[in-house]
Amino acid sequence: MNLEDFLMKNIGKLPAPIVEWIERRVKKISSFSQKIEKEYDEIMAEIEVSVKPYKDKFPVFAKLPEAGREHGEILREMEAMRTLEESHWKDGYVSGGVYHGDAEHIDFLNQVYAINSQSNPLHADVWPSATKFEAEIVSMCADMLNGADQNVCGTVSSGGTESIMLAMKAYRDWARETKGITKPEMIAPITAHAAFDKASQYFGIKMVHIPVDANFRADVNAARKAVNRNTIVIVGSAPSFPHGAIDPIEELSGLAREHRVGFHTDACLGGFVLPWAEKLGYNVPKFDFRSPGVTSMSVDTHKYGYAAKGTSVILYRGQELRHYQYYTASDWPGGLYFSPTFAGSRPGALSAACWAALTSIGAKGYTNAAKKILETADAIKKEVRQIPELRILGDSLFVIAFASDTIDIYKVLDQMTHKKWSLNGLHKPSCMHLCVTLRHTQPGVAERFIKDLKAAVEYVKAHPEEKGEMAPVYGMAATMPMRGLVGDMLKKYLDLIFKV
């Protein structure tokens, strides 16, 4: 066995800092890095076909066309692409992705967008309508999450990631100013959304990960042990993206309160489902501002709020934290400048569409939608439990994650992809999930999912010799000890995305 093979085989048994050290050294060995480069190029060439399907079908513009194109021609091309893409999500083949998707609802939001397309909340004097919509969006969300009487305030952002990053930045600046913390740390379960790691990287906050229990809920004792003088915030999800587990928010936020640090509930996914699920009689543990230790929450209007893509809400208990989010510049020659979020100019039309979604659907509409989604998820879970090769992970309401102890779950995922499904492959542990939306409540969709899933399992069992397409990539990404190399591969993938 040569050195490279030996390393690849045994490196996983070493402690992480040593692996990282070896990784840095190994990447400097040219024969090794050439080999890896070649491997990346081969993988990328293989997936380029599926990432860039329009190359030969539509005109390509690597530079501005000399003369402008006909509107009709542009619209026809876009209609053609929409037709190619639409059946996928419209007929419920996609996990998450499009959360509402009824034609009438989309047409209504499009009308609202058209009316407001020039609006920019940065110019509150010109578009007071935009600020009215945003103030009311925040207030409606605060009320829905039981923050109305608790001085809860917030802002509208561009999505869940921005909401989370804004909150982490606010905690960092709050802790520096009020407690003198210069080496801030956040405590988050490993299942918390990647946006928290992104915030950790962007804002220099050390990420302290805590494990989850057998039901994928954050380990409170581990959180207790992780708290120290530099802790600024503890995080929990309601529910988590991977397995749909609701962390013990009451206990975690109580711990945060005890130590006078912040607590953020990430309700990006569940914020517009759990309040109604609770009223419908489902077992929903406390997750919102009723727990006194919860000092901020993120909730995505562009998921189960059924708004167009591009809005989310970040909420804080009290104005003080929100002030640490704001940006103001008083000496800029461009004038007095201030903005609530990361962006400067913002699409007021998206806030208008969000407001229109919230007020046109109303509490009754959201309750009915939640009822349909939860019932569909229950029916699917019941059927998945009948498949002996599969095992549902945790005890979730509308995200159905499952693994297998007997077959390669990624091969099952590949087979589902052949049948047009676009499901999420997850790792650590290896599993896949279906995030149930209104698209899956259409007649026949749940039945089709189960039928296809059973057939996929049978196929994988009958063809153990077949490797599958993505299964080896998932397998490698899940088990490769040198995580930096996996990261490099993802960067190559992003390069591919931006290739004309």
Residues of the shown chain interacting with ligand PLP in the complex, contacts defined by CB under 6 A: 159-161, 193, 195, 237, 240-241, 266, 268-269, 300, 312
Smallest gap, in angstroms, from Cβ of residue 422 to ligand PLP?
A: 16
Q: Is 259 exposed, middle or buried (0-12, 13-18, 19+ CB in 10 A)?
A: middle
What's the N-to-C CA distance of the chain in angstroms? 42
Smallest gap, in angstroms, from Cβ of residue 423 to ligand PLP?
A: 15
- Assess contact for 195 and 164: CB atoms under 8 A: yes
Residue number closest to ligand PLP, CB atom: 160
Smallest gap, in angstroms, from Cβ of residue 465 to ligand PLP?
A: 37
Omega of the bond leading into 429 within 30 degrees of 0 (cis)? yes
Smallest gap, in angstroms, from Cβ of residue 242 to ligand PLP?
A: 9
CB closer to ligand PLP out of 142 and 166: 166
What distance in Å separates the CA atoms of residue 342 and residue 336, rounded to the nearest whole number? 17
- Contact partners, residue 163, CB within 8 Å, separation at least 6: 157, 268, 298, 299, 300, 312, 313, 314
- Assess contact for 463 and 398: CB atoms under 8 A: no
Instruction: Show the tokens assigned to 19.
Output: 């692996």
CB closer to ligand PLP out of 269 and 380: 269
Instruction: Show the tokens assigned to 21.
Output: 């050290």
Instruction: Show the tokens assigned to 23.
Output: 């990784």
Smallest gap, in angstroms, from Cβ of residue 240 to ligand PLP?
A: 6
Residue 66 identity (one-letter amino acid): E
CB closer to ligand PLP out of 358 and 456: 358
Instruction: Show the tokens assigned to 407.
Output: 């077959």
What distance in Å separates the CA atoms of residue 269 and residue 241, rounded to the nearest whole number? 7
Q: Is 89 exposed, middle or buried (0-12, 13-18, 19+ CB in 10 A)?
A: middle
DSSP string, 143-178: HHTT-GGGTEEEEEESSHHHHHHHHHHHHHHHHHHH
Smallest gap, in angstroms, from Cβ of residue 37 to ligand PLP?
A: 31
Smallest gap, in angstroms, from Cβ of residue 244 to ligand PLP?
A: 9
CB closer to ligand PLP out of 132 and 198: 198
